[in-house]
């Protein structure tokens, strides 16, 4: 007992000395000092980054994404997109003459990993702003940290959850999932679907996506079957048998890219020949590559898609970005997440450029709100309404003849 007590006393003494020292230096006064509002600590922290910025030659921009784990591909795409955007900004002279530097961390596809990565970026790297993960729950987990520190975060996740949470410094650099959902639900209405079967992944993305889709559905549509699968599942025979047996005339497939490709193949091989509807996950090139013929008649809503070749790009911004991407990495991107990373990083650069004081969170927020007509790849961003979302439209596409075709064009050629 004596031994332990001695040890404890020593430990406590040294620690308490240190704690006092810590508070004196005030580098990041513990938020527990009681009544201090989040904004107070915020200005203090960003004050630090404000001091750090002029001393260094570069402005640090953070990025955290699912670099490892089941969604490694998407994380890699977000990183590559952001890198390209930062490179372009620097080649064009940087932000107010200062170069940007991208700091990348892996959130390991877990909220815990996101919290660690974001804390590190805010406190250690003292980034001026950051590109948020492509995984929405990870943004939700980490958003309080950037909010308290007053660091601008532009997320790559599509779930409405994090922009609906009422945060001040969090925006979205892609389409809110409600938009693609509305686009494909609209296509379903035009196709005259009346009985719907829903097959979705048991993850945040699937759950929130299905909820938003249900709210958007007109009352004329009846849900006859609703099935879920786990992210680790490989065989969907049971669920698909139920979907087919339900006699639905339209199937909504809400998942991530890799499992969607699998589900489409299995739906087809089990004899489903009708149309399959879904969000932007169905719009990546892999669906056509992996699904082959099975991917025909897949209709999806998306802000922007990866075209079959650079020449098929929807607009000039997209064409320029894809040309640069191929030049940089030697191949076409494989997922639209690359656009999210690119748009988010570009938006950050614009906001920092326009902000009256880069180190003042409110000035940066004002600068983001002041972005009203930025031509991004996913569309024209306008943040002036303060909702955190910059895009207001998404379009529906259909896979026809091994290519993604605009649904409205296709419908004109193939009247139902």
User: Under rule CB under 8 A, which residues in 322-351 are in contact with another protein?
Assistant: 334
Which of 113, 385, 416 lies closest to 274, judged by CA? 416
CB of 42 to another protein, least distance (A): 13
CB of 78 to another protein, least distance (A): 13
Site residues (CB under 8 A) for another protein, limited to 137-196 = 137, 140-141, 144, 161, 165
Which of 304, 333, 344, 411 lies closest to 133, judged by CA? 344
Q: Which is nearer to another protein, 120 or 319 (CB)?
A: 120
Q: Which is nearer to another protein, 65 or 183 (CB)?
A: 65
The strand pair at 380-381 and 374-375 is best described as: antiparallel
Site residues (CB under 8 A) for another protein, limited to 215-234 = 227-230, 232-234
CB of 130 to another protein, least distance (A): 14
CB of 102 to another protein, least distance (A): 12
CB of 142 to another protein, least distance (A): 8
| DSSP state letters, 308-324 | SSGGG-SSHHHHHHHHH
Tokens 């005259």 correspond to: 192
With CB under 8 A as the contact rule, the residue among 51, 57, 91, 235 that binds another protein is 235
Residue count of the chain, please give it.
416
Site residues (CB under 8 A) for another protein, limited to 30-59 = 30-32, 34
Site residues (CB under 8 A) for another protein, limited to 238-277 = 238-239, 241-242, 244-245, 257-258, 261-262, 265-266, 268-271
With CB under 8 A as the contact rule, the residue among 39, 72, 314, 406 that binds another protein is 72
* Token pair listed for 344: 């988010």
Q: Are 299 and 395 contacting, i.e. CB atoms less than 8 angstroms apart?
A: no
Strand partners, 199: 227, 253
Site residues (CB under 8 A) for another protein, limited to 283-312 = 286, 289-294
Site residues (CB under 8 A) for another protein, limited to 77-136 = 104-106, 109-112, 115-117, 119-120, 122-124
CB of 332 to another protein, least distance (A): 13
Q: Are 25 and 324 contacting, i.e. CB atoms less than 8 angstroms apart?
A: no
CB of 237 to another protein, least distance (A): 3
Angle between helices 337-354 and 72-91 in degrees, nearest 10: 40
| DSSP state letters, 72-130 | HHHHHHHHHHHHHHHHHHHHTTTBTTBEEEEEEEE-TTSHHHHHHHHHHIIIII--SEE
């Amino acid at each position: 007992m004596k031994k332990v007590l001695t040890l404890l006393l020593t430990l406590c003494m040294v620690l308490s000395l240190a704690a006092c020292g810590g508070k004196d230096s005030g580098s990041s006064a513990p938020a527990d000092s009681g009544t201090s509002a989040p904004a107070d600590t915020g200005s203090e922290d960003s004050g630090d980054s404000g001091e750090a910025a002029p001393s260094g030659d570069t402005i640090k921009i953070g990025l955290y994404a699912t670099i490892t784990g089941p969604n490694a591909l998407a994380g890699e795409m977000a990183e590559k997109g952001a890198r390209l955007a930062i490179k372009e900004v620097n080649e064009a002279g940087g932000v107010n003459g200062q170069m940007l530097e991208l700091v990348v961390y892996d959130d390991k596809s877990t909220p815990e990993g996101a919290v660690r990565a974001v804390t590190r970026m805010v406190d250690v790297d003292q980034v001026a702003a950051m590109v948020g993960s492509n995984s929405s729950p990870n943004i939700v987990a980490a958003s309080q940290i950037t909010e308290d520190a007053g660091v601008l975060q532009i997320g790559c996740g599509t779930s409405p959850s994090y922009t609906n949470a009422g945060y001040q410094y969090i925006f979205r650099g892609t389409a809110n999932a409600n938009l693609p959902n509305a686009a494909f639900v609209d296509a379903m209405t035009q196709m005259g679907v009346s009985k719907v079967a829903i097959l979705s992944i048991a993850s945040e993305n699937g759950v929130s996506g299905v909820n938003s889709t249900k709210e958007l559905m007109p009352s004329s549509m009846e849900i006859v079957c609703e099935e879920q699968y786990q992210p680790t599942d490989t065989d969907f025979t049971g669920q698909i048998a139920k979907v087919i047996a339900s006699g639905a005339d339209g199937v909504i497939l809400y998942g991530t890219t890799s499992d969607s490709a699998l589900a489409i193949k299995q739906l087809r091989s089990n004899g489903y020949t009708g149309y399959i509807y879904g969000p932007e996950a169905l719009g990546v090139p892999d669906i056509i590559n992996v699904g082959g013929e099975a991917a025909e008649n897949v209709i999806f809503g998306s802000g922007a898609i990866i075209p079959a070749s650079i020449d098929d790009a929807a607009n000039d911004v997209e064409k320029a970005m894809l040309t640069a991407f191929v030049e940089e990495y030697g191949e076409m991107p494989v997922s639209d997440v690359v656009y999210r990373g690119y748009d988010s990083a570009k938006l950050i650069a614009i906001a920092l450029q326009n902000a009256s004081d880069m180190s003042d969170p409110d000035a940066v927020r004002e600068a983001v709100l002041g972005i009203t007509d930025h031509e991004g790849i996913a569309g024209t961003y306008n943040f002036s309404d303060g909702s955190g979302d910059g895009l207001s439209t998404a379009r529906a596409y259909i896979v026809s003849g091994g290519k993604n075709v605009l649904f409205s064009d296709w419908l004109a050629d193939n009247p139902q």
